[in-house]
Amino acid sequence: MPPTSKTTITRQRSLGNLGELLSQKRQEHNLTLTELSNRTGLAMSYLSDLERGRFQDIGVEKFSRIVEALNLSADEMLTESGHLSPRRVRRRSKETHQ
């Protein structure tokens, strides 16, 4: 499948790691898939498949809706799942505070 013009988070490491982490964070917030679906406007089946690592990529808009619904930082989620270097997050944070 050719790349699209949409910005995506791709399987640089394993999108499954991100899905597992999202599942963990959802459960820590005591939310069911149905409740997260209602908060994000995303289909419960999509969220379930995402948590099980069944996708090659996730759109930034969908990812943003999920982390916002869970009241999480996108940078922290991407770092914890191995998609973003911790060094890069610290550097960006320092630039923002100057």
What is the C-alpha to C-alpha distance for residues 27 and 24, in angstroms, rounded to an integer? 5
What is the C-alpha to C-alpha distance for residues 60 and 3, in angstroms, rounded to an integer? 14
pLDDT at 53: 85
DSSP string, 42-62: --HHHHHHHHTT--SEEEHHH
**Which pLDDT tens digit goes with each residue over 8-67?**
554 444 556 888 889 999 999 999 999 999 999 999 999 999 999 887 678 899 999 999
The full set of domains in the chain, from first to last, is 13-97 (1.10.260.40)
pLDDT at 81: 82
To 5 degrees, how large is the angle CA 20–CA 22–CA 24? 70
**Average pLDDT score over residue span 88-98:** 53
Residue 23 CB: number of other CB atoms within 10 A? Answer: 18
